[in-house]
Amino acid sequence: MGQASIPCRVAYVAAHNCCYTVSHLFTPFTFQAPAGPLTLPNRIVIAPMCQYASQEGQANDWHLAHWAQLLNSGAGMLTLEATAVSPEARITPGCLGLWDDVTAAALKDILQRARRLAPPMPVCIQLAHAGRKASSEVPWRGGQLIPLEAGGWQTWGPSALPHLPQEAAPKALSLEGIAKVRSDFAEAARRSAEIGIDAIELHAAHGYLLHQFLSPLANQRQDAYGGSFENRIRLTLEVFDDVRRSFGGTLGVRISGTDWVDGGWSIDESAELARHLKDRGAQFVHISSGGVSPLQKIALGPEYQVPLAKAVRERSGLATFAVGLITDAQQAEGVLARGDADLVALARAFLYNPRWGWSAAAALKGQVQAHPPYWRCLPKEAGPIFGPDARIGMR
């Protein structure tokens, strides 16, 4: 696993001349990658959240506003939304992309401008291919498959099996098509390094292409990429290796811990895949669930995916993110204090409250960085969450 830069211990806060115990949530965490260590100031990760606001895959002013506020959130790391590695890899026409020099230039420009408006924060990008769930409408227009005659595009999967029974089936990827997918991920990783990305998360969850290959519900191939567990994980491991050759920074994978369907991808397989990833040099695994089948039966509730993260962490020894209906600071602290995960990821909570990290610091007596124009905003009950150097004066 990665390691904490400091243990959870008693710390001195000069601003209040008092002592208190540093929370688990606000203890730094360091990933050890081939290109060097990456230290997060706390264990809060902003999970990727699709915005469906791009045109031709290009980042724009929406992303500038969105990323700037999240970079000012007090989190330990921001993960950019699922970023398509090719035009056909997009979930919707509005998805962000990183497949050529044009999309790379737009992403680099917007991200650099956003970073200038906030304190330093590591940035991770989620690289993705939607597979048979591509060519979809944006959620506020129903989110359903867009037919070819209505402006959609050809979808691809491990097998010619539709996600929903009434949908047109994807085409099964040939070996040449699989080779292109691998190349697309590697090229997107190379561009990520060139534009200053600190970490990459490969998307192998939520029913998208890599997950489709993992799950026997979507993968009924008869070749080296289907059938046995070793064959079904082959593409994910190949993509990981290809990306690692292109990118020396922190690298991990998001997986669905279970399909929530009998006969589907299981928690035992997730733990075994995590062991394979650790052996290949992964820095983390991010445990979500579901998304590959409409037959899934998910028992939603607070922390409903945390037991999956705990199981993968215990069995693999790989640094693990827990995610899913973790909404308040004490809840996040409990996940870490129990040893269920190494870091906690939140998504919708940050959309609702882009200063969630500040609120958590106030609740747990932690510290976060803030841009000087915000230093005078704190209510008394928040305490010195910006640290002893955050001082202002007026005539």
Annotate the chain with three-state secondary structure.
CCECCCCCCEEEECCCCEEEECCCCCCCEEEEECCEEEEECCCEEECCCCCCCCECCECCHHHHHHHHHHHCCCCCEEEEEEEECCHHHCCCCCCCECCCHHHHHHHHHHHHHHHHCCCCCCEEEEEECCHHHCCECCHHHCCCECCHHHCCCCCEECCCCCCCCCCCCCEECCHHHHHHHHHHHHHHHHHHHHCCCCEEEEEECCCCHHHHHHCCCCCCCCCCCCCCHHHHCHHHHHHHHHHHHHCCCEEEEEEECCCCCCCCCCHHHHHHHHHHHHHCCCCEEEEECCCCCCCCCCCCCCCCCHHHHHHHHHHHCCCEEEECCCCCHHHHHHHHHCCCCCEEEECHHHHHCCCHHHHHHHHHCCCCCCCHHHHHHCCHHHCCCCCCCCCCCCC
| Confidence at residue 8, expressed as pLDDT on a 0 to 100 scale | 37
CA 331 to chain centre: 20
* Catalytic residue status for 12: no
Query: CA 14, CA 127: separation in Å to the nearest integer?
Result: 42
Q: Name the phi and psi angles at 104, rounded to 5.
A: -65, -40
Q: Determine the pLDDT at residue 2.
A: 56
**Per-residue confidence in pLDDT tens, the chain, 395 aa:** 555 433 333 343 444 444 456 899 999 999 999 999 999 999 999 999 999 999 999 999 999 999 999 999 999 999 999 999 999 999 999 999 999 999 999 999 999 999 999 999 999 999 999 999 999 999 999 999 999 999 999 999 999 999 999 999 999 999 999 999 999 999 999 999 999 999 999 999 999 999 999 999 999 999 999 999 999 999 999 999 999 999 999 999 999 999 999 999 999 999 999 999 999 999 999 999 999 999 999 989 999 999 999 999 999 999 999 999 999 999 999 999 999 999 999 999 999 999 999 999 999 999 999 999 999 999 999 999 999 988 888 88
Distances (CA, A) of 38 to 108, 145, 247, 284: 20, 39, 14, 12
Phi, psi of 116 (to 5 degrees): -70, -15
* Catalytic residue of the set 12, 20, 52, 208: 208
Q: Please, what are the domains in the chain? A: 42-356 (3.20.20.70)
Q: What is the pLDDT of residue 14?
A: 40
Q: What is the pLDDT of residue 181?
A: 98
Q: Which of 275, 256, 269, 344 is nearest to 315 (CA)?
A: 275
Spell out the residues 6+ positions from residue 157 whose beta carbon is closer than 8 angstroms to its own: 131, 132, 170, 171, 172, 173, 209, 212, 218
* First-to-final CA distance of the chain: 51
Cβ contact 223:229 at 8 Å? no
